[in-house]
Each structure stands twice: as C-alpha cells, then as structure tokens.
Homo-oligomer: A and B are copies of this chain.
C-alpha cells in the first residue's frame, strides 16, 4: 500500500534468521543493547550490512543508542512468524517425517503439526508422538476442515506433483519441501526447499577443493 516500501531482497530475508539467532543468544546472556558495530564483529559481517538489512523493515534502532535487543527480536518474531500459530501436516511418515514431528525448532516457532499422512496400511491409524497418521484419501478433507497452513513434504518424489496439486486446491499457503522435486512458486503459494542432496554435494565439492588448494 505504501508505494515507498521496496520489496525486501531474498538475500536479506535469508540473513534475518541468523541475526535473530545471535540476538537471542545475547538476550539470554543478559545483554540489553548492542550497536551495529559490535554485532558486526561478533557475526563477521559489516556494520553497514546490518543497518542496511534492518532498514528494509523500517529500521529497528535509535541514533546514539544502538539496538534494543529485546525489541529487535520481538520485531523479527512478528515478521518471521515465530509468534503466529501455523498449522502444519506432514506428507510421508517415513524417517524424515518422524524426525520432524519431534523437532523442537518447529515447535518453538509455533508451527504445530496436526496430522501426518501416509500410504502404508501399517502406519495408518497409529500415532507418532501423539500426532495421528491418516490415510492419503483423507488428506483433502482434513486439510480443508482444519484450515491447514503448511504442508511438509517428505514423501517419495513420484507422488509429489499429484499431492501438491491436491493441496493447492485445498488452500495450503506454504510448502516446506524436503523432496528432490522442484516446486513452482506461484502468487498464492510459498515454497521453501530443503534439498539435502544438494547440500551434501556442495560439501563434497568444498572438501575436494580444499584438498586441491592445500597441495
């Protein structure tokens, strides 16, 4: 609505959770304020970048004082959904799905997993850490009736595109994608990919290269 507001670049968005982690640590240690200069030294980035990044969200500081740590963390929490109540379902009750149900990082960020879905008749009807495992045929109805916001994809890749189409029609707003399938982001669906295979390949490249450098 405000024409002056520029779109926040993706790189900036991706740096914010890292600031948040550092500021949370400082808060825990009892510190109440910090300047961009001091934070930049701790984090190994420039003070300019911190100020520039924060200014995309309107700026969190005060001239001559710096940043009030509690205030900044609260602002980031509002912007980055740490205080919102998102409802999520996990598609695929395999090893990874199992690991994510119990993941504290999700729970702390107020994303509550309300159901898991799987094709295996062994799993359907059971519950994992108190979360029921339901049949894939119940997915559409459940998603609509419970106003689910987020779908966490940990299913085999051949089934992904069909499942995603169905979930989009049921009003899912965001996909947390752990499969190797590329999902298209469109206007009313957000996608966050966690490509573990890409990540391990990158690590392998770095290791191979590091060895070369040292020779």
Contacts from A to B (Cβ < 8 Å): 13-14, 16-18, 20-21, 79-82, 84, 86, 94-96, 98-99, 102-103, 105-106, 108-109, 111, 149-150, 173-174, 176, 180, 182, 187-190, 192, 194-208, 210-211, 213-214
| Contact across chains for B105 and A202 when beta carbons are under 8 A apart | no
* Residues of chain B within 8 A of A103, CB atoms compared: 95-96, 196
| Contact across chains for A82 and B149 when beta carbons are under 8 A apart | no
Known contacts A17-B202, A96-B103; can you find 11 more A-B pairs with CB under 8 A? A79-B208, A81-B204, A86-B204, A103-B196, A105-B197, A106-B196, A109-B197, A109-B201, A176-B203, A190-B207, A194-B199
| Contact across chains for A198 and B17 when beta carbons are under 8 A apart | yes
* Residues of chain B within 8 A of A96, CB atoms compared: 99, 103
